[in-house]
């Protein structure tokens, strides 16, 4: 099966997760800026990930997915992931509540993938960073690899 992992990352944490997923799937792993619509149509599996910023994916990820031609992902199995901040690292209880309820990038990505015809294999998965710039919570790279393996 031909698989591809596409991601965006500002501080490098989502990139580490994406590379762990790519290694588990033996799939090429591309920053979204290097991905083209032609590369994703006809894949067996497409996995897309982004940091959660303002409750949603980065502009680059949303733009890439929104601009895919209609039904570009017909016949493609899809899955999504994000990175998100550990709630316990947020000092303000009000802000903690807002972040908890605001939503996360992976579910938005999953909806966009389905909108373009992809067949969603699993609910979007979140991986935890211990502060805005990371580092990743201990064990998240291993959990990402396990998550990827259960997709196939
Ligand atoms: C401007 C900004 C907005 C953010 N918004 C959210 C958010 O809504 N929810 C959340 O869980 N984390 C939020 N975070 C934390 C990011 O998810 C975190 O920086 C990201 O997972 C790190 O991944 P990266 O190293 O790949 O950029 C935000 C961080 C920044 C800088």
* Averaged pLDDT, 109-126: 97
How far, in Å, from the CA of 149 to the mean position of ligand 1?
25
Mean pLDDT of the chain: 96
How far, in Å, from the CA of 99 to the mean position of ligand 1?
10
Q: Show the tokens assigned to 144.
A: 């990402």
Whether the CB of 32 sits within 6 Å of ligand 1: no
Whether the CB of 21 sits within 6 Å of ligand 1: no
pLDDT of residue 131: 93
Q: What is the pTM of this model?
A: 0.97
DSSP string for residues in 9-65: -SSSHHHHHHHHHHHHHT--EEEGGG--HHHHTT-SEEEEEEE-BTTB--HHHHHHH
Whether the CB of 134 sits within 6 Å of ligand 1: yes
Distance CA 81, CA 47 (A): 8
Q: Are 67 and 95 in contact (CB under 8 A)?
A: no
Distance CA 131, CA 86 (A): 7
Q: What is the pLDDT of residues 14-67, one digit of tens each?
A: 999 999 999 999 999 999 999 999 999 899 999 999 999 999 999 999 999 999
Distances (CA, A) of 140 to 16, 78, 113, 136, 147: 10, 21, 24, 7, 10
Closest C-alpha residue for ligand 1 atom 20: 51
Distance CA 116, CA 36 (A): 15
pLDDT of residue 56: 97
Q: Show the tokens assigned to 34.
A: 């290097």
* Averaged pLDDT, 140-151: 98
Cis peptide before 18 (omega within 30 of 0): no
pLDDT of residue 1: 74
Query: By percentage, how much of the chain surpasses pLDDT 70?
Result: 100
């Amino acid at each position: 099966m031909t698989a591809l992992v596409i991601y965006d990352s500002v501080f490098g944490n989502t990139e580490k997760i994406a590379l762990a997923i790519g290694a588990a799937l033996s799939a090429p792993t591309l920053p979204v800026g290097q991905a083209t619509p032609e590369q994703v149509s006809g894949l067996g599996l497409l996995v897309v990930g982004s940091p959660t910023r303002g409750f949603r994916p980065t502009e680059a990820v949303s733009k890439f997915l929104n601009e895919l031609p209609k039904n570009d992902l017909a016949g493609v199995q899809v899955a999504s992931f994000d990175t998100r901040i550990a709630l316990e690292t947020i000092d303000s209880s009000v802000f903690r509540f807002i972040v908890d309820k605001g939503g996360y990038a992976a579910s938005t990505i999953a909806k966009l993938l389905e909108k373009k015809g992809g067949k969603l294999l699993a609910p979007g998965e979140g991986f935890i960073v211990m502060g805005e710039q990371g580092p990743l919570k201990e064990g998240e790279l291993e959990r990402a690899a396990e998550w990827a393996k259960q997709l196939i």
